[in-house]
Chain A
């Protein structure tokens, strides 16, 4: 079965510092990985995805993520955090192995960027 783990409920970062939000996954076939952000009372907004190719994926708002197959991880990063980045971040994985074709989300990580 597919699964996603976001080991940190909350990440606290000072504005201007780099940030990392962690994600690990488990699938039996090739993973297709996604990051979404959710602001209060709003739906999920797509940030970036890894399908194939370069392990470093660049996305919206200066975010990037690195796919690491050996560690089954897909951590979200940003070189310099902004207060406006404070939100809830979700990692998700999808695979078609065994006919299983669902987007499975992690429980989310709350990012708090302090001035």
Chain B
């Protein structure tokens, strides 16, 4: 079974430029998560989708971040414009459902460097 796929793996951009990350969850997984992992810290949730619906986006900085999950499968996370403080690893995870005991399976992440 294929795991969570993310691309690109690495991205280097100048500040104020836009950037987008793509995630393909495990087949059949209805719930998709985006996390941000700053250096030396654990991941922090940005947004959670149940199928196409964003059910928890309270931690998403909406002035510059946006996300979509059209058709309830793939998802894209966008930053526009990027700031120096956005440098981090962006992780995507998926589960079959959104249950509190469900195991989240993570992709390899996209390492973003903003210069």
* A residues apposed to B, CB below 8 Å: 4, 32, 34, 36, 41-46, 49, 51, 90, 92, 94-96, 101-103, 105-108
Contact = CB atoms under 8 A, between A and B. Distances in A.
- Interface majority SS on A: helix, strand, loop or mixed? strand
A45 B41 contact: no
Contacts of A108: 40-42
B100 A101 contact: yes
Nearest to B58: A102
B103 interface: yes
Contacts of B43: 44, 90, 105
Contacts, number: 52
Interface of B: 4, 6, 9, 40-45, 56, 91, 93, 98, 100-101, 103-109, 111
Nearest to B55: A101
Contacts of B101: 32, 49, 51, 94
A45 B56 CA distance: 23
B103 A34 contact: yes
CB-CB nearest 6 A-B residue pairs? A105-B42, A43-B106, A44-B106, A43-B108, A51-B101, A96-B100
A90 B4 contact: no
Given A92-B42, A107-B41, A45 B100 contact: no
A49 B44 contact: no
19 contacts: A32-B100, A34-B103, A41-B108, A43-B109, A44-B93, A44-B106, A46-B103, A46-B105, A51-B101, A90-B42, A90-B43, A92-B42, A96-B100, A101-B98, A102-B56, A103-B104, A105-B43, A105-B44, A107-B40
A90 B42 CA distance: 7
Nearest to B91: A43
Nearest to B3: A43
Contacts of A96: 100
Contacts of B41: 107-108
